[in-house]
Amino acid sequence: MGKSAGMTREIVVPASVFEALRSELSSEAGTLQTVRALHHAGYHAGLAAAEAMNRETGGNAFALSERGFWTALSDFFSKRGWGQLDHSTPHAAVGLLRTSDWAEARPEAHESGATCSFSAGYLSGMLSQLAGGPLAVLEVSCRSRGGDVCEFAFGSEAAVHHLYGKLLDGADMAAALKAL
Give pLDDT tens digits for 73-127.
999 999 999 999 999 999 999 999 999 999 999 888 788 777 899 999 999 999 9
**Confidence class for position 6, pLDDT limits 50, 70, 90:** low
The answer to the question of residue 149 being in a domain is yes
pLDDT of residue 112: 79
The answer to the question of residue 5 being in a domain is no
Rounded average pLDDT over 143-168 = 95
Task: Choose between 99 and 4: higher pLDDT.
Answer: 99
- The number of distinct structural domains making up the chain is 1
Helix and strand totals (H; E) in the chain: 6, 6
As a 3-state breakdown, the chain gives helix, strand, coil percent values, each rounded to 5, of 50, 15, 35
For the chain, the C-alpha Rg in angstroms (whole number) is 16
pLDDT of residue 1: 45
Q: What is the pTM of this model?
A: 0.91
Rounded average pLDDT over 147-163 = 96
Rounded average pLDDT over 31-52 = 94
At 171, which CATH number?
Answer: 3.30.1380.20
Instruction: Dump pLDDT digits (tens) for 167-180.
Output: 999 999 999 999 99
139 — alpha (psi -120 to 50), left (phi > 0) or beta? beta
The answer to the question of residue 75 being in a domain is yes
Q: What percent of the chain has pLDDT over 70?
A: 97
The answer to the question of residue 9 being in a domain is no
Instruction: Dump pLDDT digits (tens) for 15-33.
Output: 989 889 989 998 899 888 9
The answer to the question of residue 169 being in a domain is yes
pLDDT of residue 37: 95
pLDDT of residue 154: 98
The answer to the question of residue 6 being in a domain is no
Range of the domain at 45: 14-178
Q: Is pLDDT above 60 for 14?
A: yes
Cβ-contact 86, 99 below 8 angstroms: yes
**Nearest-angstrom CA–CA distance, 45 and 102:** 17
Supply the mean pLDDT for the chain. 92
Cβ-contact 178, 163 below 8 angstroms: no
